[in-house]
Amino acid sequence: MGKIAGTSSLQAVDLHCVRGERKLFGALNFTLRSGELLRIAGANGSGKTSLLRIACGLLEPTRGEVRWGGKDIRRLQEEFWRQLVYVGHANSIKDDLTATENLHVACTLAGVPRQAAQIGEALRRLGLAGCENLPARVLSQGQRRRVALARLALSKGAPLWILDEPFAALDAAAVEHVQDLIAEQLSRGAAVILTTHLEARITAAAALRIDLEAT
Amino acid sequence: MLAALRCVIYRDLLLAVRRSSDVLTVLLFFVIVVSLFPLGVGPDPALLRTIAPGVIWVAALLASMLALNRMFASDHADGTLEQMLLGATPLGMTVAAKILAHWVISGLPLVLISPVLALQFDFPREFLWTLTLSLAFGTPVLSLIGAIGAALTLGLRGAGALLSLLVLPLYVPVLIIGAGAADAAVSGLGGQAQLLLLGALLVFAGAFAPWAAAVALRISTE
């Protein structure tokens, strides 16, 4: 399996996050290197999603900064986002488009256009054979999540994956597939951040864990 | 990058085709509002000729307001907007592509049907092209200015009403110049000056509005 060229480390420096009046976390530091998995744990409302959104650059931290290869991601902007795959809480799927069209748009926007054949293969890998040309509105919640996660199978060159509750709404077989995808990506030298309530069994060279209630 | 912009435009047009009721609502609204005026003010041809450009322009303004809500709201709701914010293309360019697609869906049909509606008002035929051209230059400006408002009010409660309050005052210069073009043509002054001004507004708004809307989007999605 080919290694990903040009991986960098993601570094959080003294992150504080206040939403409304509530302080979610403060003085959070971590460094995530190539091939490492970071799992963020915590109860509902403890700021897991906020932390992921800060790490993506969607949300501005109240204080502190996130660095990619030593540079602030707010300065890097597109240069950072080109290397990032973010699968958020929402599936980012248009109901009126088919699964294939949705993935085609998502990959093109991410700067890595994919052919229909590659998209079909990614969908089959997630167990969606036969659903390629169905509009997303007729898919079940779990199937829609699978479409969103099929992006991972199409983004093997991205050195950073940030996944918000990737296993939500998935059945056991699909959880297995996604865990395999993540383990493969880690072995390629990418870094992965995820939040999950499941005790995920993912083999990684190094697994970090941040418990948000503890901070 | 061009592939991404083409893709955004294609996607939005495809969505509009699959939900053609949204497009038709705006167009029918425009047709009905314009058609109400002759019924309301009576069949005096001279009066109708005078008010035609103003009525058509005001109706176009309201119709474009109606479509504005949808520019970013559905993408925001299903999360596809986040993927655009994190895309490899500068956000301003993506927003410009979305605005262009939005204009093709909601502005262009108004421009194309306006000559037919103007005939209802017995508007002089030789000046129809001035009216249509003024709308062709003006409606993209409305979409561009409206995009900033739509981005600012994204995700707010009562966004629709707030959006009107925010954006309609900014439409005033476009309305005055746009309706003035056809008026000037009818009164023999020629509408070129107004059309050039609208063109200048279009270039100016086209250069700056997408970036302003992009900044507004980043703020309102935080």
A63-95 pLDDT tens trace: 999 999 989 999 988 899 999 999 998 999 999
For residue A200, the model assigns a pLDDT of 65
Tokens 């040309």, residue? A133
Confidence bin at B70 (pLDDT 50/70/90): confident
Which structural domain range is residue B106 located in?
A: 2-220
Collapsing DSSP states into helix, strand and coil, what is residue B118? helix
Q: Which residue of A has its CA nearest to B222?
A: A59
Whether the CB of A116 is below 8 Å from some CB of chain B: the reply is no
Q: Which B residues 71-90 touch A at CB under 8 Å? A: 77-80, 82-90
For residue A213, the model assigns a pLDDT of 75
* B88 and A109 Cβ atoms separated by less than 8 Å: yes
Whether the CB of B155 is below 8 Å from some CB of chain A: the reply is no
For residue A196, the model assigns a pLDDT of 83
For residue A6, the model assigns a pLDDT of 66
Structural domain total, chain B:
1
Cα separation, B221 vs A30, in Å, equals 25
Q: How far does CA B117 lie from the centroid of its chain? A: 17
A58·B7 Cβ contact <8 A: no
Closest by Cβ to B3, choosing from A84, A88, A108: A108
For residue B213, the model assigns a pLDDT of 96
SS3 letters across A192-210:
EEEECCCCCCCCCCEEEEE
Min mean pLDDT across A197-211, B6-20, B38-52, B191-205 is at: A197-211
Whether the CB of A13 is below 8 Å from some CB of chain B: the reply is no
More confident: B29 or A27: B29
**What's this model's pTM, rounded to 2 decimal places?**
0.92
Confidence bin at B174 (pLDDT 50/70/90): very high
Whether the CB of A58 is below 8 Å from some CB of chain B: the reply is yes
Q: Which residue of B has its CA nearest to A84?
A: B86
Residue B210, C-beta contacts closer than 8 angstroms, at least 6 positions apart: B92, B93, B95, B96, B99, B144, B147
What percent of chain A shows pLDDT beyond 90?
52
Whether the CB of B16 is below 8 Å from some CB of chain A: the reply is no
Collapsing DSSP states into helix, strand and coil, what is residue A84? strand
First-residue to last-residue Cα distance in chain A: 38
Whether the CB of A108 is below 8 Å from some CB of chain B: the reply is yes
B11·A97 Cβ contact <8 A: yes
Cα separation, B52 vs A77, in Å, equals 49
- ipTM score assigned to the predicted complex: 0.89
With a cut of 60, say whether residue A214 has pLDDT above it.
no
Confidence bin at A212 (pLDDT 50/70/90): confident
Rounded (5°) CA angle B154-B156-B157: 140
A95·B78 Cβ contact <8 A: yes
A58·B86 Cβ contact <8 A: yes
CA A195 to chain B, closest CA, distance in angstroms equals 18
